[in-house]
Amino acid sequence: MNEEKIIREEALEYYENSNINNPYAESSDVLRNLKSRLYDFYSSEFKAIFLDELNNLITENLELHRKKAHSGKADPDCQQEKQAERVLFYLKQELGTLPTVVHQRYSNKKEKKRAKVFVSYSHFDKEYLTEIQRHFKPFKNLIDFWDDSKIKPGQKWKEEIKKAIDETKVAILLVSTDFLGSDFISTDELPPLLEAAEKEGAVILTIVLKPCLFEEFDDLNQFQAMNPPSRPVSKMDLNEKEELFVNLVRQTRKILEE
């Protein structure tokens, strides 16, 4: 185990077991205990790592609290927020006395690893999913292909879908009237996928399965479909469908390799 990992685990243990996370503790006691704890570390480098980890933990917890309790907004009258802001202010002052390069070097910001291919579809269109699965099957050792048939009995299906979306690099949307009318797709799948495409480099690949009003949905039609809405899969002959699905796999591989 390297030294940075040891220090960060020490900081997490301190965060969980001390009064630093207690909104009703006296601020002076919280800061005094923290300052005393810092004397256990003998270099500015280790102090910076410890404080950086605490700063990340407190910030993440504060954001989570705001989402749950205050609709994502700051509440100046909330005791928990007041305490967190005081401690964050103290951490900022302490980090300011340490070498800036140390803090930057040991920043604990972790980027999500996105490598999964996620298929969003209506169960009324299962036959098309089966065809696409067939085309991806030869590359099962190269492509992490995911659809809800991967959910095992006993697993919490909503949590498994959310986890898969969080890891998605390529989102394949199988669009039809049933897809557009699905409450679950519109509320639980599309928003995080579109946000991932906007902010985190995920890519949306759209296949229009059947005649539908795809062009009326601005959040979707901003991504050019792989086939024109006027030429949905349901109107294609066998060879035309095969060419489209082969191209889908080709584009997916290209994106993942980039």
Q: Please enumerate in sequence order all residues whose Cβ is within 8 A of that of 8, keeping only pairs 6 or more positions apart, or say none.
A: 49, 50, 53, 108
Neighbours of 177 (CB within 10 A): 16
116-257: which CATH topology? Rossmann fold (3.40.50)
- Residue 201 Ramachandran class (φ > 0 left, ψ -120 to 50 alpha, else beta): left
Distance CA 170, CA 59 (A): 30
Q: Say whether 175 sits in a helix, a strand or coil.
A: strand
What six digits make up the tokens of 134? 């067939």
Which neighbouring-strand residues pair with 145?
117
Neighbours of 203 (CB within 10 A): 20
Please, are residues 204 and 173 in contact by the beta-carbon 8 Å criterion? yes
- The HSE-up count of residue 11 (CA atoms within 13 Å, CB side) is 24
CA 178 to chain centre: 26
Distance CA 208, CA 223 (A): 12
Please, are residues 106 and 4 in contact by the beta-carbon 8 Å criterion? yes
In angstroms, how far is the first alpha carbon of the chain from the final one?
Answer: 32
What six digits make up the tokens of 32? 């005094």
- Residue by residue, pLDDT tens for the chain (258 residues) are 577 788 888 889 888 888 888 888 887 788 888 877 776 665 777 888 888 888 888 988 888 888 888 888 888 889 888 888 888 888 777 766 654 434 344 444 445 577 899 999 999 999 999 999 999 999 988 999 988 888 877 778 888 888 889 899 999 999 999 999 999 999 989 999 998 888 888 899 999 999 999 999 988 888 889 999 999 999 999 999 999 999 999 999 999 887
Domain spans in the chain, listed from the N-terminal domain onward? 3-105, 116-257
- Quickly list DSSP for 131-162: HHHHHHGGGTTT-EEE-GGGPPTTS-HHHHHH
What DSSP state is assigned to residue 98?
S
pLDDT of residue 243: 95
Q: Say whether 174 sits in a helix, a strand or coil.
A: strand
Place of tokens 């469908």: 241
pTM equals 0.56
